[in-house]
Amino acid sequence: MTEELSTKFNPAEVEAGRYEKWLEQGVFAPSGDKKAKPYSIVIPPPNVTGKLHLGHAWDTTLQDIIIRQKRMQGFDTLWLPGMDHAGIATQAKVEARLAEEGISRYDLGREKFLEKVWEWKDEYAETIHQQWGKMGISVDYNRERFTLDEGLSAAVRKVFVELYKKGWIYRGEFIINWDPKAMTALSDIEVIHKDVEGAFYHITYPLADGSGALEVATTRPETFFGDTAVAVNPADERYAKYIGQSVVLPIINKEIPIVGDEHADMEKGTGVVKITPAHDPNDFLVGQRHNLPQVNVMNADGTMNELTGEFNGMDRFEAREAIIKKLDELGNLVKVEKMMHSVGHSERTGVMVEPRLSTQWFVKMEELAKNAIANQKTEDAVEFYPPRFNDTFLQWMENVHDWVISRQLWWGHQIPAWYNEAGEMYVGEEAPEGEGWVQDEDVLDTWFSSALWPFSTMGWPDEKAEDFQRYFPTTTLVTGYDIIFF
């Protein structure tokens, strides 16, 4: 009995079982021919936050075209697949699912919550595998990796400890981007700036000697209770005479100094700036220059704390309106000027980011950036296509700031640092011996492990690993240009 030939092309009919046969025959594995030149690509690991989108399909197809061409040309090819745990992004997805059930991660506790996240990971990893199969990508699944695999975790711990010993990783208190919904620190690249309607609130701060008042213009009156000075530009003839005197904070009648600092822009607002070192990165630097105290007036969830008196417990935006109303009642509100301005928002939760004084872990970027810039002048330079992105890379490296790498999350690589009741800290690849040591609860920014992906997937830190010896450094990376500054 013969089967009737379809008059129309049926992709499902033609493709059925074909990909499975390719995998069974191992046709995508490296040839193992030591005489052939190696050619390797590691797939930029998609996040296990959900399904692959059209961008993934485009990016992956380009890699497939390249690796198939090189395979046909006789290269010993390796295309290594894998997925990224995507710390804050995946945790946010799981928390949103739990919220639909009326549950929070705190209700479950860390261990049970992580079980839920692993279930999510398994669910969406299976979906991604199915999508890869539909595209017929020619990866070597026997070498598939996940950024939380133990081998990769060992690489993360080793790099952290080595950089810490060099002094390139440190723990310190600085102003960072804070997500009040996720209650975690964010790096600059996790912050999206949007133009929103705001206002300049003009407020009078009476001079302590009763001779008058200075008018301050601010967009953030909710941080008013954290003011520890007002600043004027020493070159500003209107206000230079007040430097060294004091003003009184309305509502709480707290006396704070008037300092001279070039941070005060004579052309912006009134030329008098409130200085809140715990709630603004520029004010933090002014505070360091003038040895000002740092007063945090906000809780981690974006509500006001006990230092704000009657406004304690209010949401920051609710407090903004209440404080302005109070200042108006006291006669200290001069005017409100509506304006549009750019404000940072969390890429993951969408809420307005809060500059916050916080103790975090950081990577010193200066030496790392110098090495990367110098490398571009050697024969080992990374070649960018199109070449114009080399300039983008260099510009980023020349202006990079220290990278905050700690996240107040549960899903991710837990920081390899331990503390005891005596206030001692131990940093190591393994837990210290003896009792009384508690590991740092924070996890590392997802990109700390993703940055190691090209060699941690090859068996490093074992530099004698066969794949590391053979296929590292990788030959080609196909990805969106934003990877340059991620």
Question: Distance from first CA to last CA of the chain, Å, rounded?
Answer: 60
Mean pLDDT on 110-132: 97
CA distance 256 to 249: 7
Indicate whether 290 pLDDT > 80.
Answer: yes
pLDDT band at 486 (very low <50, low <70, confident <90, very high): low
Q: Tell me the two tokens of residue 12.
A: 């499902």
Q: Is residue 427 classed exposed, middle or buried when 0-12, 13-18 and 19+ CB atoms within 10 A define those classes?
A: middle
**Side-chain half-sphere of 1: how many Cα atoms within 13 Å?**
1
341 and 195 housed in the same domain: yes
Strands (E) in 386-424, as ranges, are: 403-404, 406-407, 417-419
pLDDT band at 1 (very low <50, low <70, confident <90, very high): low
What integer pLDDT is reported at residue 6 of this predicted model? 75
Least confident of 12-21, 280-289, 328-337: 12-21
Least confident of 121-135, 188-202, 320-334, 459-473: 188-202
Helix ranges (DSSP H) in 223-340: 281-290, 316-330
Domain for residue 130, yes or no?
yes
103 and 168 housed in the same domain: no
User: Domain ends where: 292, 323, 346?
Assistant: 346
| 251, 255, 260, 261 alpha-carbon torsion, rounded to 10° | -50
pLDDT band at 13 (very low <50, low <70, confident <90, very high): confident
220 and 306 housed in the same domain: yes
111 and 166 housed in the same domain: no
Per-residue pLDDT of 397-417, as tens digits, reads: 999 989 999 999 999 999 999
CA distances (Å), origin 367, targets 117, 171, 313, 361, 440: 36, 17, 43, 17, 26
Domain for residue 58, yes or no?
yes
442 and 456 housed in the same domain: no
CA distance 181 to 201: 26
Residue-wise DSSP of 102-132: T--HHHH-HHHHHHHHHHHHHHHHHHHHHHH
126 and 104 housed in the same domain: yes
Residue 3's identity, in one-letter code, is E
Domain for residue 322, yes or no?
yes
CA distance 203 to 332: 6
φ/ψ (deg, to 5) at 146: -130, 140
Domain for residue 401, yes or no?
yes
CA pseudo-torsion sign 286, 290, 291, 296: negative
Cα Rg of the chain (Å, integer):
28
**In contact, 217 and 250? CB cutoff 8 Å:** no
CATH number at residue 278: 3.90.740.10
CA distance 356 to 353: 9
Q: Tell me the two tokens of residue 57.
A: 């399909």
Q: Tell me the two tokens of residue 308.
A: 């704000």
CATH number at residue 38: 3.40.50.620
Per-residue pLDDT of 144-192, as tens digits, reads: 999 999 999 999 999 999 999 999 999 999 999 999 999 999 988 899 9
CA distance 479 to 482: 8
Pick the closest to residue 160 from 151, 170, 173 (CA basis).
170
φ/ψ (deg, to 5) at 132: -60, -40
119 and 41 housed in the same domain: yes
401 and 460 housed in the same domain: no
417 and 457 housed in the same domain: no
428 and 463 housed in the same domain: no
Indicate whether 9 pLDDT > 90.
Answer: no
Question: Could you say which DSSP state residue 95 is in?
Answer: H
Name the strand (E) or helix (H) holding 77: strand 76-80
Domain for residue 156, yes or no?
no
Per-residue pLDDT of 415-432, as tens digits, reads: 999 999 999 999 999 999
Counting DSSP H helices and E strands in the chain, the numbers are 14, 20
CA distance 172 to 294: 14
CA distance 109 to 331: 49
User: Domain ends where: 299, 320, 346?
Assistant: 346
3-state secondary structure of 368: helix
Domain for residue 107, yes or no?
yes
Per-residue pLDDT of 43-92, as tens digits, reads: 999 999 999 999 999 999 999 999 999 999 999 999 999 999 999 999 99
CATH number at residue 182: 2.170.220
User: Domain ends where: 299, 331, 346?
Assistant: 346
Its domain, for residue 24, covers 19-143+447-484
Per-residue pLDDT of 360-369, as tens digits, reads: 999 999 999 9
- Tally of domains within the chain: 3
What integer pLDDT is reported at residue 11 of this predicted model? 83
Mean pLDDT of the chain: 95
Q: Tell me the two tokens of residue 175.
A: 């102003």
381 and 411 housed in the same domain: yes
Per-residue pLDDT of 254-264, as tens digits, reads: 999 999 999 99
CA distance 289 to 277: 11
Indicate whether 4 pLDDT > 70.
Answer: yes
Domain for residue 12, yes or no?
no
What integer pLDDT is reported at residue 428 of this predicted model? 98
pLDDT band at 2 (very low <50, low <70, confident <90, very high): low
Domain for residue 155, yes or no?
no
What integer pLDDT is reported at residue 79 of this predicted model? 99
CA distances (Å), origin 245, targets 211, 212, 222, 256, 287: 11, 12, 24, 9, 17
What integer pLDDT is reported at residue 348 of this predicted model? 85
389 and 286 housed in the same domain: no
